Structure 1
Amino acid sequence: MRIRIVFILSLILIGCSDKQEEQASKVVYPKVDLVSNITNSIAGEAISLTFKADTDINNIKLQIKNAFGSVLLSPDASKKENIVFQIPKNYTRVAGPCRWQLLVDNHTLQKGTFDIATNAPKATYIESYFGPRSVTAGNNDFSMLTIAPTDAYDNPLDDGTPVTVKYQFQDNIDELQIETESFFAFYNVRSTLKSGRILVTAECNGTSSKELATIVYPDNAVNFSISSSSAHNYADGNQIITFKSDVIKDQYGNIVTNGTLVTFVIKNDKDAYLYTIGTTINGVAEAKTLHPDKAATWEIQAFVTGAAESNTDNFTFKAAIKDYPVHFSKGNRNIDVGPFESFMKQLIPDGLLLQLDIYDMNGAFVTSKKTTTKNGVCNIYLGEYFLAAGKYNLKISAAGITKEFIKDIDGDTVE
């Protein structure tokens, strides 16, 4: 038993002594010096980092990290005297800081940074944007020209790079110089007082952008005048009356855009309203509507919604139909009205509205019936299924003329 205990204690002591020896051991890394001390480079130029070691190293790596990404490089096997790392082109073409670390078994031996500058002398390219592509005449609107110049490898040029801006309107060409800031330059091109097209372009390091344009549209319309015209002024319900504006302009004298909607509102002598619309062509709006079918006086006013209004124009229509005959038959159930003759004794066009209102002898409304003329006349038949026999007050209205009859349906005329 005693021998067994001594044996176990011996094993424990041996294990502890081995662990102390292992903790006391230290890894010694080779000494490596940087031979090529690169601090600055130009995008697109070949870059290599050269190191010199005091002994051969098999597992040495170089980590490169910049805006393009990160990569782990092995040394150039063709170089025997020194340890040489060739930086890939994808990394040397990206401007900005480039960081490196020299690693052996994931241990950093050395690290550093070098800067890659833009390569503007090789080539300059320009990305340009201009918008909005339409503005309103006046001094309150503008389009912004944005210019992003880059080098041959798409690196933004340095802040302070001069950019020349040119813009043209009608006979005037203006030129000015701005500078890039935070990789781009911009300029606000103000709208002009006159409508038209503004052309802009930019130039940087001898490279010109494409031509861009914005259209200056007229401002909101201002008040205008209208007039009314027709072949005659008789209320025949057939002739067309035309409403026409003068040339509608904005406050700067620009003719409003073609297609501007103009609403013509008509008020008759019974305070009823109707309207018709027209759109501008070369600043002039025109709308049409039919004459009324009875004498009336119209007040016409036009509006460009939310912007302008016209004067009020008056047009008076004379009665085209002075009178019309009415004939009853078949127990006063059949009513023939007409012929309707217009202002030259001609038959009126088809479609004149006629309305019959029927009241009982106490003045209570019973029913009504409507019809329209054809070939200058119209007919109404009051069948037994429609109106029972009896005495009624019949009011016939057409062309603004109302006639009243008291009839005994299925009997003779009472009045």
Structure 2
Amino acid sequence: MRIKILIILSLILFGCSNKIEEQPKEFDYPKIEPVSEISSSVAGDAVSLSFKTDALKENLKLQIKNAYGNAILSPENTEDQLVIFKIPKNFTRIAGPCRWKVLLNGHTLREGKFDIATNTPKATYIESYFGPRSVTAGNNDFSMLTISPTDAYDNPLDDGTEVTVKYQFQENIEEQKIITESFYAFYNVRSTLESGRILVSSECNGVTSKELATIVYPSNATDFTISSSSAHDFADGNQIITFTSDIIKDEFGNMVTNGTLVTFVIKNENNAHLYTIGTTINGIAEAKTLHPDKASKWEIQAFVTGAAESNITEYTFKAAIKDYPVHFSKGNRNIAIGPFESFMKQLIPDGLLLKLDIYDTKGVFITSKKTTTKNGVCNIFLGEHFLKEGDYILKIKAAGITKEFTKNLHGDTVK
């Protein structure tokens, strides 16, 4: 009995292991033939693909792919055995290869491609770019003109398309013929020796671009000369001295650009430096500053930073104030200085600086006070809260003149 059971189980297992695997059904490809072969078209033209087939035409699809994108189309006409697919305008306006496949239930029945050419006869448009819009004189700098001619549907024209570049400077008009490569063309317009404006334009297939321009600015300034002038040469601290340059030019003789900054550096006899600035108008820079308030000798030189420098010119100022009186009162605590008279015995303008240095009798500095003149005079009061009674050395400095006094300060000024 046991043997019979084992034999039955063996037969069952053997039968399971030898099941016949199901085979997929083979796809039955229907017949399909193109009615007319299309190998090329022109951008913008209507394109249709027609096929003759015995398949169920409603299930047929056309897949197209080009630079615009990818799409699945259904047939437009399915009468008789003819099936027609119309390619959308968005695809037919893009130049380049356009690939297609006829599909049935995911299977490719037929495939091919056609080329779409640019539509040059319809219209030509020119995209042009020019820059930089400013260059420096001297034939070493240039602006690049880039031209990209296209058809009416913005397709770049074929390589080898001829483009004419025209450029004008002053009385000269020149032109140059170039050809497109990789769908564009370019031309370098070099700067000139003279400053001015260069105009450029381009032409392709009888169509001209818009006018573009670059400005040729003067090159770096070269060395120049300066001069000084004033109504008089007295050091009154009031009159204005004017520094003027000649016409500043670059190495090619072009007048430098208006607004060029010129720095005038002034050195006096004590090697102290002052400066004033001016900007050019019609190539000439002018700067002004006040006269010193004491006799002085100035050396003036001007600079265009990083580019040029001027000669060194000198200007000597004579003392306008020869002397001034000093009066002490109220226990020598009240000091009246002046009147200060200028070179024609006139009172000096308000604002002359006066300094009082105070020392003890051993020459040790204690403190100082400063003031300025008003109506030709000035006054300093040394109150008891400021200096206690005693002997002091007082040094007064004004208009380059120093006066020294030894005074006893006394008296009660608090009451």
TM-score (norm 1): 0.94
1:74 is displaced (CA, Å) by 1.0
- Is residue 254 of structure 2 the alignment partner of residue 254 of structure 1? yes
Deviation, structure 1 residue 14: 9.9
Cα distance, 1:94–1:12 mapped onto 2, change above 3 Å? farther
Q: Which amino acid aligns with 1:362?
A: K
* Deviation of the 1:55 alpha carbon: 4.2
The match for 1:314 is 314
Change (3 A) 1:79 1:161: farther
2:205 is aligned with 1:205: yes
Structure 2: gaps of 5 or more residues: none
Structure 1 equivalent of residue 29 of structure 2: 29
Alpha-carbon distance, 1:295 to partner: 0.1
Q: Could you say which residue in structure 1 is the equivalent of 2:330? A: 330
Q: Quickly say closer, same or farther: Cα 1:25–1:325, change in 2 above 3 A.
A: closer
Which aligned pairs between 1:12-27 and structure 2 lie closer than 5 A? Answer: 20=21, 22-23=22-23, 25-27=25-27
**Residue 344 of structure 1: SS of its match in structure 2?**
coil
Tell me which amino acid in the other structure corresponds to 2:402: T
Count of residues paired in the alignment: 409
| Aligned match of 1:407 | 407
Equivalences for residues 289-308 of structure 1 within 5 A = 289-308=289-308
Structure 2 distance, partners of 1:29, 1:15, is 35
Q: Aligned equivalents of 1:299 and 1:9: distance in 2?
A: 126
The Cα of 1:254 is off from its aligned counterpart by 0.5
User: Residue 58 of structure 1: SS of its match in structure 2?
Assistant: helix
Following superposition, the deviation at residue 151 of structure 1 comes to: 0.3
TM-score calculated relative to the size of structure 2: 0.94
**Which moves more between the two structures, 335-344 or 6-15?**
6-15
Shift, 1:12, TM fit: 9.7
Match of 1:268 in 2: 268
Task: Give the structure 2 partner of residue 345 of structure 1.
Answer: 345
Q: Deviations over 1:10-59 (max 9, x none)?
A: 89969976x54x40642211121222211111111111111112444431
Per-residue CA shift, 1:325-348, capped at 9, x if unaligned? Answer: 001011110000011100000010
Within a 5 Å distance, the mapping from 1:10-409 to structure 2 comes to 20=21, 22-23=22-23, 25-77=25-77, 79-409=79-409
SS at structure 2 position matched to 1:91: helix
Root mean square deviation, CA, Å: 2.1
Distance 1:159 1:282 in 2: 49
In the superposition, relative to structure 1, how do residues 324 and 14 fare at CA in structure 2: closer, same or farther (>3 Å)?
A: closer
Instruction: Report the secondary structure of 1:90's partner residue.
Output: helix
Q: Larger deviation: 69-78 or 116-125?
A: 69-78
Q: Is the 8 A contact 2:53 2:81 kept in 1?
A: no
Assess, with a 3 A threshold, how the Cα gap between structure 1 residues 221 and 406 changes in structure 2: closer, same or farther. Answer: same
- For 1:25 and 1:371, the matched residues in 2 are separated by 116
Residue 127 of structure 1 aligns to which amino acid in structure 2?
E
**Structure 1 runs not aligned, ≥5 long:** none
Q: Percent identity?
A: 73
Contact 2:57–2:78 (Cα < 8 Å) also in 1: no
> Post-superposition shift, 1:82?
1.3
